[in-house]
């Protein structure tokens, strides 16, 4: 025992997580952090928070909001500190060693969380505060208390000892399976890149330009069969085991299936509401998709007549993007390779920042002396109109083998107020997989990548502009089907002519994007929406159908997926945006399980909200500051619909999504 304490003392002297960070603006000292630092810091962090919670339990004073709820919200500072770095780096700059560390850390953290929310003595104090008169609490405090109380209920505090023990085992195994799923997918995606010469992030763009039909089919199958090849990286067994455990967990907690359990405290409320919502969108999307296929078939028929494609050929999934691009060029004379010349990465990012400056009065300044986790990263100081520091945004935009596919925002440091009332400044990261610079050109982005940069920065604004008191309510700590509103509404400015004029400059000549090209981009904005909406909606429905299962006995993953696609009316030329074996949102983590619909759900809100901007002016200061104060600053300090209606002044119009996508 003495030796163990001696080791901890040694770690205290050397481990950067166990010291104060004397870095610019609270950015983690990435140059000092080594892989050897993570696990010791995780273990010390768990021990510290365990002691902090025991101190709450042992407090002889009657439980109240400050000595129980606030005390818990402020606990676990070290564990938060190391977890935020570890899990962010493992997603964006992984290695075999780091993967092994995460695999060891996850069960420890899962067990620790279970020990907190299955602790009856701790729950009794929280319950006493929850059942007491709450009239003296402000709304953020009431929301914090409600969410904390429900966390105990949702984590099985009411179960008997044997059931709690089983629930802990389930949670631990689920944490491990999620890591295996994600690591398998990363390996499969890297294998795809090795075979075809481009990353999965560039799949859609490549499929639009590959003329060789046999090669298109090969690329399509390589992409769509990731995790489904019967090799050691196959994820089908992982999918079934994850669902088996989630079903068992839901039933232990008193629900018929995981979807009922997950949705009971979300905006949608229940699976039936989500199913009906998605069915209406799918019907509209497939009606348009059938028109798109008919248009593409006419172009293919021309290729058949020219002897390029065999007689009798019809549009297949691997043809969709290629012939859609042919139709788009013919209909709108829009050549994306020409448009990309105006979308130099640095200029687009300046446009994203400038757009936020015009809307919310905030400013951005490069930080040149910060040591970041990868040389491709850049950091910027964010200040308010009065010059006060808001926080830091780090951008990490290029693909690499150590980074998972996709784009996301996370926190290295979250905003909140400490015990002395000091505002802790957030450190946010936006991660992407955009086109890299080439030997003869800078990084030039596609239209979709520009939109994605605006999207992820909307999430960043949610984290940066947060003005909450407590960690558990700040920033993006909101219901899953509300979290996409700030990101998706930010996309709406990306291709407005007034905004394009601030960032879309030809990378060689410096000329601003010409009006006629802007008109083509805007005219083509709703092109191919049958496909775009359909594949997104299909993935959302697939997610729901997995989580509405009450058993996986006898289920074959591929057969189940095929059946679900047929029942939803998905045409044969389209597959879900994510097939089950590479659906990392729902199987690589639990973040979007029975929640992938939230992108479309939040789009109703974002399109309805942007209609107000259109009415008032897209840079109307009063409207922008209302959105900042009522949505971006509020985090989870109030129910989402209350926040939305404070901004909008009315319930959202459900038709806004279909109108914006040109489907109504």
| Residue the block writes with tokens 């023990």 | 165
Give all strands (DSSP E) within 384-541, no chain letters. 389-396, 408-413, 416-417, 423-424, 427-431
Measured between alpha carbons, how far apart are the two ends of the chain, in Å? 70
Q: Burial letters for 517-544: b for 16+ Cβ neighbours within 10 Å, e otherwise?
A: bbebbeebbebbbbbbbbbbbbbbbbbb
Q: For the chain, what is the radius of gyration of the CA atoms?
A: 25
Element (H, E) at 366: strand 363-367
Catalytic site residue from 140, 260, 456, 561: 456
How big, in percent rounded to 5, are the helix, strand and coil portions of the chain?
Answer: 60, 5, 35
Q: Are 600 and 282 in contact (CB under 8 A)?
A: no
639 is a catalytic site residue: no
The answer to whether 619 and 358 have CB atoms below 8 angstroms apart is yes
- Mapped onto helix, strand or coil, the DSSP state of residue 311 is coil
Could you give the 3-state DSSP secondary structure of residue 583? coil
Quote the Cα angle for 383-638-415, to 5°: 30
Hey, how many other C-beta atoms are within 10 angstroms of the C-beta on 128? 13
CA distance 483 to 478: 6
Question: Distance between CA atoms of 570 and 537, rounded to whole angstroms?
Answer: 9
Residue 500 near residue 101 (C-beta atoms within 8 A): no
Answer whether 192's CB lies under 8 Å from 215's CB.
no
Burial class from Cβ neighbours inside 10 Å (0-12, 13-18, 19+) for residue 420 reads exposed
Q: How far apart are CA 120 and CA 105, in angstroms?
A: 25
User: HSE-up of 59 (CA within 13 Å, CB side)?
Assistant: 21
The closest alpha carbon to 54, from 70, 31, 71, belongs to: 71
Residues 6+ apart with CB under 8 A from 553: none
Cβ burial, residue 309 (10 Å; 0-12/13-18/19+): middle
Query: Cα–Cα distance between 605 and 643 in angstroms, integer?
Result: 11
Cα distance between residue 601 and residue 540, in whole Å: 10
Distances (CA, A) of 309 to 220, 294, 299, 366, 498: 18, 17, 11, 52, 43
Annotated active-site positions, please? 456
């Amino acid at each position: 025992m003495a030796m163990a304490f001696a080791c901890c003392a040694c770690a205290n002297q050397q481990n950067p997580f166990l010291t104060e960070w004397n870095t610019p603006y609270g950015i983690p000292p990435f140059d000092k952090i080594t892989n050897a630092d993570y696990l010791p810091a995780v273990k010390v962090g768990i021990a510290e928070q365990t002691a902090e919670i025991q101190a709450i339990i042992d407090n002889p004073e009657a439980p109240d909001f400050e000595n129980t709820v606030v005390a818990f919200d402020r606990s676990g500072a070290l564990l938060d500190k190391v977890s935020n770095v570890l899990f962010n780096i493992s997603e964006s700059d992984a290695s075999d060693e780091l993967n092994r560390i995460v695999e060891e850390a996850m069960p420890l953290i899962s067990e620790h969380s279970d020990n907190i929310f299955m602790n009856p003595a701790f729950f009794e104090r929280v319950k006493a505060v929850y059942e007491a008169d709450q009239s003296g609490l402000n709304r953020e405090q009431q929301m914090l208390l409600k969410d904390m109380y429900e966390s105990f209920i949702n984590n099985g505090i009411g179960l008997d000892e044997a059931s709690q023990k089983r629930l802990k085992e389930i949670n631990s195994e689920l944490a491990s399976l999620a890591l295996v799923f994600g690591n398998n997918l990363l390996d499969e995606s890297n294998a795809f890149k090795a075979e075809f010469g481009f990353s999965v992030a560039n799949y859609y763009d490549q499929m639009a330009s590959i003329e060789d039909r046999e090669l298109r089919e090969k690329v399509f199958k390589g992409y769509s069969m990731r995790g489904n090849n019967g090799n050691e990286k196959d994820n089908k067994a992982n999918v079934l085991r994850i669902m088996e455990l989630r079903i068992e967990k839901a039933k232990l907690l008193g629900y018929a299936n995981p979807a009922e359990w997950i949705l009971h405290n979300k905006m949608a409320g229940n699976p039936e509401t989500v199913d009906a919502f998605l069915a209406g969108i799918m019907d509209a999307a497939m009606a348009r998709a059938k028109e798109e296929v008919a248009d593409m078939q006419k172009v293919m028929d021309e290729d058949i007549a020219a002897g390029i494609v065999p007689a009798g050929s019809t549009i297949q999934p691997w043809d969709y993007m290629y012939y859609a691009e042919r139709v788009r060029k013919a209909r709108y004379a829009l050549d994306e390779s020409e448009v990309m010349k105006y979308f130099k990465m640095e200029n687009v990012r300046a446009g994203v920042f400038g757009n936020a400056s015009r809307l919310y009065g905030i400013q951005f300044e490069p930080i040149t002396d910060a040591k970041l986790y990868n040389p491709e990263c850049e950091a910027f100081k964010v200040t308010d109109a009065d010059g006060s520091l808001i926080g830091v945004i780090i951008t990490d935009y290029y693909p690499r083998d150590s980074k998972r596919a996709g784009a996301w925002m996370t926190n290295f440091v979250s905003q909140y107020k400490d015990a002395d009332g000091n505002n802790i400044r957030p450190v946010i990261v936006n991660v992407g997989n955009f086109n890299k610079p080439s030997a003869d050109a800078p990084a030039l982005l596609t239209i979709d990548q520009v939109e994605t940069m605006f999207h992820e920065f909307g999430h960043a604004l949610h984290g940066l502009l947060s003005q909450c008191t407590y960690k558990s309510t700040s920033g993006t700590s909101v219901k899953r089907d509300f979290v996409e509103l700030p990101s998706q509404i930010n996309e709406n400015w990306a291709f407005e002519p007034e905004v394009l004029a601030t960032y879309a400059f030809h990378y060689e000549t410096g000329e601003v994007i010409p009006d006629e090209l802007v008109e083509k981009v805007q005219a083509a904005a709703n092109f191919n929406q049958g496909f775009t909406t359909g594949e997104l909606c299909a993935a959302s429905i697939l997610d729901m159908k997995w989580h509405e299962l009450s058993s996986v006995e006898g289920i074959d993953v591929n057969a189940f997926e095929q059946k679900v696609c047929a029942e939803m009316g998905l045409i044969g030329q389209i597959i879900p945006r994510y097939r089950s074996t590479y659906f990392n949102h729902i199987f690589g983590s639990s973040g979007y399980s029975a929640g992938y619909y939230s992108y479309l759900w939040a789009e109703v809100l974002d399109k309805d909200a942007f209609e107000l901007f259109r009415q008032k002016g897209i840079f109307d200061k009063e409207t922008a500051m209302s959105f900042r104060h009522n949505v971006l600053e509020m985090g989870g300090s109030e129910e989402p619909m209350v926040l939305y209606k404070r901004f909008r002044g009315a319930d959202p119009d459900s038709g806004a999504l279909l109108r914006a996508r040109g489907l109504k």
